Amino acid sequence: MVYLTGAGPGDIDLLTVKALKIVKKADIIIYDRLVNIELLEYAKKDVVLVYVGKEKDNHKVPQDEINEIIYQASLKYEHVVRLKGGDPFVFGRGAEEALYLVQRNQKFEIIPGITSAISVPAYAGIPVTHRGITPSFRVVTGHTKSSNDVANINWSSFVENETIVFLMGLHNIQLIVNKLLDIGKPPSYPCAIITDGTTSKQQVLVGTLETIVQLSKKAKSPSIIIVGEVVNLRKELNWFK
């Protein structure tokens, strides 16, 4: 059985109970760059560890190969854990891996994780919704096969007062800012970049659409970008030091 498992956003204490149980049972763990490696200490001493981390423009193992590694492991081991940062079905390519197994008649289970789209802003004192400020939030990928794909997002569909969370968007932040200005967001619109969220290395940069590109030079991956009036609540709700 393959367990496509979300490891959460970084803080080891945010791993779900179910995920922890399967990590302890795993015969092999195939894990990503964004997984807190301290989680691996809970695994059996004889567990097989396979690192398949990917960074921008440096895919150590291409996705097609990862799919096959998972499949081959499922033929050999009883408990195969595919461990991913955040949630496997939120821009984690978990569905691609699941479909690959379905096509080969291999059983799998999805173990959701706490997504960084909500938890990282929370650790920065920024709620993604707040009564009287925003009735909705949207999670958008900031990184696709090419910048053209990001440019082709239906930006005009964005609701005027909704919170927007961009995952993996640091490299395309200038494009993102330009598109938001194009749809009518004012230059003074609040936004923040959160790097290494929920961890002891967490860094929060708060600015506006006018200043955030310059501020982004102080940030590094992994980062998320959050845009909306809720960013202003950080002044009162910043609890994580």
Domains and CATH numbers, the chain: 2-111 (3.40.1010.10), 116-237 (3.30.950.10)
User: Residue 152: what pLDDT?
Assistant: 80
User: Residue 182: what pLDDT?
Assistant: 95
From the candidates 18, 25, 54, 179, which is the catalytic residue?
A: 54
Q: Using the predicted structure, report yes or no on whether residue 86 has a pLDDT greater than 70.
A: yes
Q: Using the predicted structure, report yes or no on whether residue 85 has a pLDDT greater than 80.
A: yes
- Peptide bond preceding 222 in cis form (omega within 30 of 0): yes
- Check the CA dihedral 115-117-121-122 and report its sign: negative
Is 64 noted as a catalytic residue in this protein? Answer: no
Q: Confidence band (pLDDT; 50, 70, 90) for 148? A: low
- pLDDT tens string 118-140: 999 999 999 999 999 999 999 99
| Pair type for strands 163-167 and 28-31 | unpaired
| Pair type for strands 28-31 and 48-51 | parallel
Summarize the confidence of residues 9-38 as an average pLDDT: 97
Is 54 noted as a catalytic residue in this protein? Answer: yes
Q: Using the predicted structure, report yes or no on whether residue 147 has a pLDDT greater than 60.
A: no
Query: Which segment of 15-29, 113-127, 150-164, 187-201 scores lowest on mean pLDDT?
Result: 150-164
Is 1 noted as a catalytic residue in this protein? Answer: no
From the candidates 11, 87, 168, 185, which is the catalytic residue?
A: 168
Residue whose token pair is 């779900």: 16
Q: Using the predicted structure, report yes or no on whether residue 54 has a pLDDT greater than 90.
A: no
> What integer best gives the mean pLDDT of the chain?
94
User: Residue 145: what pLDDT?
Assistant: 62
Q: Among residues of the chain, what percentage have pLDDT more than 90?
A: 88
From the candidates 32, 84, 87, 185, which is the catalytic residue?
A: 32
Q: Using the predicted structure, report yes or no on whether residue 143 has a pLDDT greater than 90.
A: no
